[in-house]
Structure 1
Amino acid sequence: MSPDHIDPTQPPWEQMLRALLGDQADEAIAQMRERGIDPAALDAGGALPHDPAAMQQVLAQVQRLFASGDDQPVNWEMAHDLARQQAAVGGDPALSSAKQREVLDALSVAELWLDAATELPPSTAPARAWSRAEWVEATLPTWRTLTDPVASSLSAALVDALGGQLGDDDDSGLDDQLRGLGLPEGMALPGGLAPGQLLRRLGSAVFGLQVGQAAGTLARDVFGTTDIGLPLLDVPAPALVAANVDAFAEGLDAPVEEVRLFLALREAAATRLFTHVPWLRAHLLALVETYARGISIDVDQLEQAVGSIDPTDAEALQAALSSGVFAPQTTPEQQAALGRLETALALVEGWVDEVSATAALAHLPHSVALREMIRRRRAAGGPAEQAFANLVGLELRPRRLRDAAALWAQIARGPDGAAARDAVWDHPDLMPTAEDLDDPAGYATRRTAAADESADLDRALAEILGEDTPQDEPGQDAPDQNGPDQDGPGQDETERP
Structure 2
Amino acid sequence: MADDDDRSPEEQFQELLRQLFGAEGFDPAQLQQLSGLGIDPAMMQQMMSQMQAAFVSGDGGISWDDAQRRALHIANQGDLGVASGARADLDQAFTLATLWLSEATTISDLAEPGHAITRGAWVEATMPVWRELAEPVALSIADALTATLSDQVPEEMKGMMQGASRMMRSVGGSLFANQLGQVVGRLSMEVVSGGDVGIPLMPAGSAAILPQNFADFGQGLEIPEDQLALYVAARELAHARLFRHARWLRLDVIAQVTEFARGIRVDTSALEDLAERFDPSNPDELRVALESGALLPERSEQQTLALTRLENLLALIEGWVEVVTADATSRLPSADRVAEVVRRRRAVGGPAEKALGSLVGLELRPRRMREAAAMWRAVTDAVGVAARDALWDYPDMMPSSEDIDDPADLIARLAARARGEAPERDAFDEALDALLAEEKGEGSPEPEDGHDDGPQGPSPV
Above 0.5 in TM-score? Answer: yes
Find the aligned partners of 2:240 and 2:57 in 1 and give their Cα distance: 40
> 1:129 is aligned with what amino acid?
A
Instruction: Confirm or deny that 1:97 pairs with 2:73.
Output: no
Instruction: Confirm or deny that 1:437 pairs with 2:404.
Output: yes
Find the aligned partners of 2:42 and 2:95 in 1 and give their Cα distance: 40
Q: Is the 8 A contact 2:54 2:167 kept in 1?
A: no
Instruction: Report the alpha carbon displacement of residue 125 of structure 1 after superposing the two structures with TM.
Output: 2.9
Q: 2:136 matched to which residue of 1?
A: 149
One of 265, 270, 275 as aligned partner of 2:239: 270
One of 119, 123, 144 as aligned partner of 2:110: 123
> 3-state SS of the aligned residue for 2:299?
coil
One of 144, 148, 160 as aligned partner of 1:162: 148
> 2:71 is aligned with what amino acid?
A
Instruction: Report the alpha carbon displacement of residue 131 of structure 1 after superposing the two structures with TM.
Output: 0.9
Instruction: Report the alpha carbon displacement of residue 105 of structure 1 after superposing the two structures with TM.
Output: 1.8
One of 50, 58, 69 as aligned partner of 2:58: 69
Q: Is the 8 A contact 1:228 1:396 kept in 2?
A: yes
Find the aligned partners of 2:129 and 2:295 in 1 and give their Cα distance: 28
Any residues of structure 2 matched to 1:355-394 within 5 Å, and which? 355-362=324-331, 364-394=332-362
Q: Is the 8 A contact 2:144 2:266 kept in 1?
A: yes
Instruction: Report the alpha carbon displacement of residue 435 of structure 1 after superposing the two structures with TM.
Output: 2.0
Q: 1:409 matched to which residue of 2?
A: 377
Find the aligned partners of 1:125 and 1:193 in 2 and give their Cα distance: 54
Q: 1:109 matched to which residue of 2?
A: 96
Find the aligned partners of 1:424 and 1:460 in 2 and give their Cα distance: 24
> 3-state SS of the aligned residue for 1:387?
helix
One of 238, 261, 275 as aligned partner of 2:230: 261
Find the aligned partners of 2:187 and 2:48 in 1 and give their Cα distance: 23
Q: Is the 8 A contact 1:346 1:398 kept in 2?
A: yes
Instruction: Confirm or deny that 1:290 pairs with 2:290.
Output: no
Instruction: Report the alpha carbon displacement of residue 438 of structure 1 after superposing the two structures with TM.
Output: 2.1
Q: 1:420 matched to which residue of 2?
A: 387
> 1:78 is aligned with what amino acid?
D
Find the aligned partners of 2:31 and 2:64 in 1 and give their Cα distance: 28
Q: Sequence identity of aligned pairs in percent? A: 38
Find the aligned partners of 2:298 and 2:145 in 1 and give their Cα distance: 12
Instruction: Report the alpha carbon displacement of residue 86 of structure 1 after superposing the two structures with TM.
Output: 1.1
Instruction: Confirm or deny that 1:457 pairs with 2:430.
Output: yes
Find the aligned partners of 1:420 and 1:306 in 2 and give their Cα distance: 56
Q: Is the 8 A contact 1:406 1:440 kept in 2?
A: no
Distance 1:133 1:26, change over 3 A: same
1:80-99 CA-to-partner distances (Å, cap 9, x unmatched) read 1111111123x112323332
Instruction: Report the alpha carbon displacement of residue 373 of structure 1 after superposing the two structures with TM.
Output: 0.6
> 3-state SS of the aligned residue for 2:316?
helix
Q: Is the 8 A contact 2:58 2:166 kept in 1?
A: no
> 1:400 is aligned with what amino acid?
R
One of 211, 221, 238 as aligned partner of 2:207: 238
Instruction: Report the alpha carbon displacement of residue 120 of structure 1 after superposing the two structures with TM.
Output: 0.3
Find the aligned partners of 2:258 and 2:306 in 1 and give their Cα distance: 9
Q: Which runs of 5+ in 2 are unaligned?
A: 1-16, 280-284, 449-461
> 3-state SS of the aligned residue for 2:314?
helix
Find the aligned partners of 2:308 and 2:35 in 1 and give their Cα distance: 45
Q: 1:174 matched to which residue of 2?
A: 153
1:150-193 CA-to-partner distances (Å, cap 9, x unmatched) read 2123333444x537x53xxxxxx7314xxxxxxxx75997xx87
Q: Is the 8 A contact 1:154 1:295 kept in 2?
A: no
Q: 1:475 matched to which residue of 2?
A: none
1:38-61 CA-to-partner distances (Å, cap 9, x unmatched) read x99xxxxxxxxx9x9999877754
Distance 1:66 1:106, change over 3 A: farther
Instruction: Report the alpha carbon displacement of residue 63 of structure 1 after superposing the two structures with TM.
Output: 4.8
Q: 1:398 matched to which residue of 2?
A: 366
Distance 1:109 1:57, change over 3 A: farther
The number of aligned residues is 403
> 1:238 is aligned with what amino acid?
A
> 3-state SS of the aligned residue for 1:234?
coil
Distance 1:53 1:258, change over 3 A: farther
Find the aligned partners of 1:327 and 1:463 in 2 and give their Cα distance: 50
Q: Is the 8 A contact 2:114 2:206 kept in 1?
A: yes
Distance 1:250 1:115, change over 3 A: same
Q: Is the 8 A contact 2:71 2:123 kept in 1?
A: yes
> 1:175 is aligned with what amino acid?
P
Distance 1:222 1:327, change over 3 A: closer
Q: Is the 8 A contact 1:106 1:264 kept in 2?
A: yes
Q: 1:47 matched to which residue of 2?
A: none
Instruction: Confirm or deny that 1:332 pairs with 2:301.
Output: yes
**TM-score when normalising by structure 1:** 0.70
